[in-house]
Structure 1
């Protein structure tokens, strides 16, 4: 059996009883529904079939409201391992772009970042090119950037803390830098973080990043390693990201979710979030609103 989890856009309640009743009647194969959180999130249950077809049928019946749909096998929905990208996923910014702003190069660096995240240029050389432009930036600005410019994506802390409270392991796996992932992962509540190391001398960036670079392959390797460490089946894993360097990780996860993602990533992922906040991934696992650990 398949379950289709429907989640309203952040801050909205779009899934009332009348809407659910209409979907149960209109969508072929749907056998019933269940409320997860008021009019914010609900499940539709369907006989076994093709997930993308069920999603398309539900979308056609819905019309065009701001509702995300995550379809997966019902028996495999609860996850025990969660890996997440950081920049533009767990936070609303790209940290390297904010560092570049300090030296007046944000527009230049942001353009390179965008091309890399779209998969138009390889991640590793793009990272080295951008880091070289940061030569001379004092590491002391990182605390200021985190305090003044970085915003956590709504629902992220609830997602991580609820999964951990229910026995899951969580890892922030980023192509960014440890100076950011350390404090940000601690604030959100992750078990661990993995990312790249900026090289500095006397507290000043020298424009280099330490080898090996954590990119697309390293994200995939992290998922495989942690899955093996905890003796999990692939179906017990969840990953989320927005860029081309997340694609392998998303493809390997039992449920790989694209978050406000670049077109190629959204097309390839098992599911995508375009409207709801990150708590949608709790509803997708069958958690109700009452079970969410509020940050």
Structure 2
């Protein structure tokens, strides 16, 4: 039974000690080490390993053994100040993914959109506190969304979205990643607990195929269109993100196992569990602990390494 273990440095170089420690860990986990391949000359290394299923005795359950390997690698991954990520995956076609779904806020873009709106409305500190608690999984997402949106009542909406578009900062490497995924024929979607006008804008900027997010209700007061302090339509929470992943996959006849979900918050874990693989991007500790994979570098382009692509292969994809 084959697996890949990929090391990706957060900074400019992966220390040789990281490679040595991983080789020792592979041996201690009773895995057979195959090829070691540099995906980047300084920052990323791929280990091909194999678990000899025939060597397991009758008392050992295969899934439990694999989980114990995953747990051991995760324990190393979560060490403070490690300086690199350890991504563990089954050898089930990393380069044959057909669907990528992304969270938007703090994933495809650097900001939390509701906080941009809150700054515009001068309620930034109150909204930021609620957002942090929600992202840490301390309070229910739907409840937190309602609480935050209620603080936005009265904002004139006519020019709001156009003004915010100029403040949006696309995450480093997102454009290159999406360009490469599109070249591979992979369908892409943004599934956001943020708001639809900006999700559509980001999707357009990055060439994504789908954009789903929440809608803010508007009303008229003294002849002006303002935010009512409520949402309208279905709420895009964690469960809805997972449902949307399934819907998009079904529409395109893509097995869920060929999907990858990327996000930073607790409400992204459900869609990660549905997808064939999930990546927590610079996420909160609780999310990193539960996510299948973690990436804490400075560029989303590093997701190509998670898929097993080397720098020459990436350059070819990007033309």
Fold agreement, TM-score > 0.5: yes
- Partner in structure 2 of residue 13 of structure 1: 13
- Partner in structure 1 of residue 161 of structure 2: 142
Q: 1:167-186 residue pairs with structure 2 within 5 A?
A: 167-186=185-204
Q: 1:111-260 residue pairs with structure 2 within 5 A?
A: 111-139=129-157, 140-148=159-167, 150-201=168-219, 202-260=224-282
1:145, distance to aligned residue in structure 2 (A): 2.6
- Partner in structure 1 of residue 85 of structure 2: 68
1:53/1:100 CA distance change after superposition, 3 Å: closer
Q: Distance in 2 between matches of 1:117 and 1:19?
A: 30
The answer to whether the 8 A contact 2:99-2:260 is kept is: yes
The answer to whether the 8 A contact 2:172-2:298 is kept is: no
- Partner in structure 2 of residue 32 of structure 1: 35
- Partner in structure 2 of residue 4 of structure 1: 5
1:76, distance to aligned residue in structure 2 (A): 2.8
Q: Distance in 2 between matches of 1:58 and 1:177?
A: 37
The answer to whether the 8 A contact 2:37-2:47 is kept is: yes
The answer to whether the 8 A contact 1:170-1:192 is kept is: yes
Q: Residue 102 in 1 paired to residue 120 in 2?
A: yes
- TM-score, normalised via structure 1 length: 0.89
For structure 2, the residue ranges without an aligned partner over 5 or more in a row are 52-64
What SS does the corresponding residue of 2:178 show, helix, strand or coil?
Answer: helix
Deviations 1:264-287 (A, max 9, x none): 221111011223522222111122
The answer to whether the 8 A contact 2:74-2:86 is kept is: no
The answer to whether the 8 A contact 1:27-1:58 is kept is: no
80, 83, 93: which is aligned to 2:98? 80
1:218/1:56 CA distance change after superposition, 3 Å: closer
Give the aligned length.
291
1:105/1:27 CA distance change after superposition, 3 Å: same
1:54, distance to aligned residue in structure 2 (A): 6.2
Instruction: Say which one has the larger Rg.
Output: 2
Cα RMSD of the aligned pairs, angstroms, is: 2.5
Runs of 4+ in 1 over 6 A off after TM superposition: none
- TM-score, normalised via structure 2 length: 0.83
The answer to whether the 8 A contact 1:136-1:207 is kept is: yes
